[in-house]
Structure 1
Amino acid sequence: MQIQLLIPGLLWPVATLLGPASGLALEGLATLLGRGRRELTAFEPYDRQLARLFGVHGDTLPMATLRRLGEADAPAPEPGRHWLCADPVNLSFAREHLLLQAFPDEELDAAESAELVAELNAIFADLGRFEACTPTRWYLRLHRPTAVTLYPLDDVTGRPVKHFLPEGEDARLWQRTMNEAQIVLHNHARSRAREEAGHRAVNSVWLWGAGALDAPPRAPARQVQASDPVSIGLARAAGVAFGAPDPAAALAQDTLVVLDELRKPAQQLDLDTWRRGLEAMERDWFGPLAEAFRAGRIDTLRLTAPGDRGTLQLELRAGERWKFWRKPYAFDALLKSIAPAPMQMPDAPRPAHGAP
């Protein structure tokens, strides 16, 4: 029996804090790290690693199509259907830069999202139809395909927008569309009401994820466990059984488990939420999996943790079960081992010969 864990956000951004997991009781994770073979590989975007597990390759992935397919009300897979993610964002000036910030799930409600999407549909009916599957996950179903390169929202969040403008044949169309959407949303009564109440306004949308799914993905395991819509969309397109993460069910058959609870806290540098999520993951997953491995219920366990500087790869095979001399390896020690070396200040120049 084989289990593959994919855990984005497990590696806290190494440039921001040393010892983020200090003081946490993570015995199960330490056991897995100590028994298994560890490797830190080169940086690769998380979405590309996820897609590759399903046999989907390429620099441009149809993330909007996949994410829409993973929503609760997803339509049946249909060749030739084209989508864009059109997520609500806040744009604000910081000095001379226009910065973009995404909204946490709880910051918007369904009623205001529905009103804003209705306004967009009244203005941009020639392009397609906007829809809000959740208050923070919006889509644009296109009337026709588009030839454009659009940057993922995660890549742009907190950064100057000018570095991530659309590229390609239809770049002008989508740059103009985002500019016009910014005007429409900025002037909307809902946005003004949010600002008057001291909340961030929904004053733009970020379009991304263009492309179509040319061929169906392949099943990476007998079942997929995930809660994020991209993973669910991949599983649905591959025709493989899927469900919410459940350790007991994962131990029943070969399973790919995507645990993304730590991803947003790591991106947003929300240390308290990240530490609470890590403790829950130890209780629900690392501890039970370490015990199942010791008991011989798992033949192979692989853990992949994409981070901002590299990806942690961990593999445990049945033969590692008997290597009792391998001691637990603390997770906090692992994080410290991959942190950048402290900056060395240059030595002060020596005084010239004969100087006092």
Structure 2
Amino acid sequence: MQIHLLIPGLLWPAATLLGPASGLALDGLAALLGRGRRLVREFEPYDRQLARLFGLEGGGLPLGMLRRLGETDAAAPPPGSHWLCADPVNLSFAREHLLLYAFADGELAMDEANTLVTALNDVFADLGRFEVCTPTRWYLRLDKPTRATLYPLDDVIGRPVKHFLPEGEDARLWQRTMNEAQIVLHNHAASRAREDAGLRAVNSLWLWGAGEVETAPLAPAKAVQATDPLSLGFARAAGVPASAPDPASALRQDTLVVLDALRKPAQQLDLDAWRDGLQAIERNWFAPLAAAVQNGQLKTLRLSAPSDRGTLEVEVRSTDRWKFWRKPHAFDVLLKSIAPAPTELPTAPPPTHPDTDR
């Protein structure tokens, strides 16, 4: 029996002398790192890794449709419909660069989101219809498909927007749409009210996730456990049972477990939230799974932690419990051994979409 943990955000983006996990009791994680085989692969975007686990590779991944399919509190999208993620963002200048930042969960209210999306639907009725699933997850149901290359939001956060503008056949349409949406949102009374209250305004959209499903995703395990809608959408498209993460049930069958709680804190450099989330994962997952490996209940545990610093891969097998010479390896020590993400603003986009994808 095998478990694969996929944990975006586990690797804190920047290494410091003190260490972001300093002082935390992470004995379970240290035991797994010490017993297992570790390697750090080169950077690969989280959404690409998730897609690859479900047997999808290449450009034009339909991430908008798949994430929309994974929304639990909204009606299922009609078969054959075309979707873009249309997430609210904040644009701000840093030196001469215009940088993009996402909103944290709880930072926007549902009534604010609905008010702003109503304004967008009044202006862009010729493109399709915007809808709100959560305050920070919006969508555009397209009247017709697009073949534009649109960069995923995670690729752009904290980076100069000019390097990630739409490309491809419909590039001008979507560049113009984003520019016009900025004007609508910036001038809206709800955005002005946020600014007057000292809050970050919703002054732009980020459109991404264009593509069509050419081949159905393949189940990577007998079950998938996740709470984020993109993972749930992949699971539902693959026809594999999906449920909320639960260690006890994961230990009953081969399971892919996606733990998403650290992703936004790492992106937003919210160290307190990241440390709290890491302690919860240690308590609920690392400690019990380390014990399950030690007593032979779990045959193989794989851990994948994608980040801008590369992807940490760890594999621990039940036979490793006899290798007494493998000592626990402190997580902070591991973080300091991995090259930090660049601190300078990039002069070109990361290699998220190679030329063969365009």
TM (normalized to structure 2)? 0.91
Find the counterpart in structure 1 of residue 293 from structure 2. 293
Give the residue type in structure 2 aligned to 1:137: R
Partner of residue 111, structure 1: 111
Counterparts of 1:253-332 in structure 2, within 5 Å, are: 253-332=253-332
Q: Alpha carbons of 1:111 and 1:77: their partners in 2 closer, same or farther (altered >3 Å)? A: closer
- d(CA) in 2 for partners of 1:17, 1:7: 24
In 1: Cα distance, 2:223 partner to 2:17 partner? 36
SS at match of 1:162: helix
Q: 1:12 to 1:229 in 2, by over 3 A?
A: same
Q: Does the 8 A contact of 2:27 with 2:287 survive in 1?
A: yes
Long gaps (5+) in structure 2 = 341-358
C-alpha distance in 1 between matches for 2:12 and 2:230: 22
SS in 2 for 1:107: coil
Is the Cα contact below 8 Å between 2:309 and 2:339 reproduced in 1?
Answer: no
What is residue 21 of structure 1 aligned with on the other side? 21
Count, aligned residues: 341
Q: Distance in 1 between matches of 2:16 and 2:263?
A: 15
The CA deviation at 1:74 is: 4.8
Report whether the alignment pairs 1:95 with 2:73. no
Cα contact 2:15–2:336 (8 A) shared by 1: no
Q: Confirm or deny: 8 A CA contact 1:5 1:302 kept in the other structure.
A: yes
Between 222-231 and 34-43, the greater mean CA deviation after superposition: 34-43
**Residue 204 (structure 1) shift:** 1.4
**Percent sequence identity over aligned pairs:** 76
In the TM superposition, residue 141 of structure 1 has moved relative to its aligned partner by 0.3
Structure 1 outlier segments of 4+, above 6 Å: none
Check whether the contact 1:91–1:101 (CA below 8 A) recurs between aligned residues. yes
Give the residue type in structure 2 aligned to 1:186.
Answer: H
Residue identity opposite 2:25 in structure 1 = A
Q: CA deviation at 1:15?
A: 5.1
Alpha-carbon distance between aligned partners in 2 of 1:317 and 1:96, rounded to the nearest angstrom? 50
Measured in 2, the distance between the counterparts of 1:92 and 1:48 equals 28
Higher Cα Rg, which structure: 1
Q: Which residue of 2 aligns with 1:229?
A: 229
The range that moved more, 8-17 or 116-125, is 8-17
3-state SS of paired residue (1:301):
strand
Tell me the secondary structure at the aligned position of residue 105 of structure 1: coil
Instruction: Tell me the equivalent position of 2:199.
Output: 199
Matches within 5 A, 1:150-169: 150-169=150-169
Distance 2:324 2:313 in 1: 21
Deviation at 1:75, TM superposition (A): 4.6
Distance 1:68 1:89 in 2: 18
Amino acid aligned to 1:284: N
In 1: Cα distance, 2:149 partner to 2:17 partner:
34
Q: 1:218: Cα distance to partner?
A: 0.8
CA RMSD of aligned residues (A): 1.7
> What letter corresponds to residue 199 of structure 1 in structure 2?
L
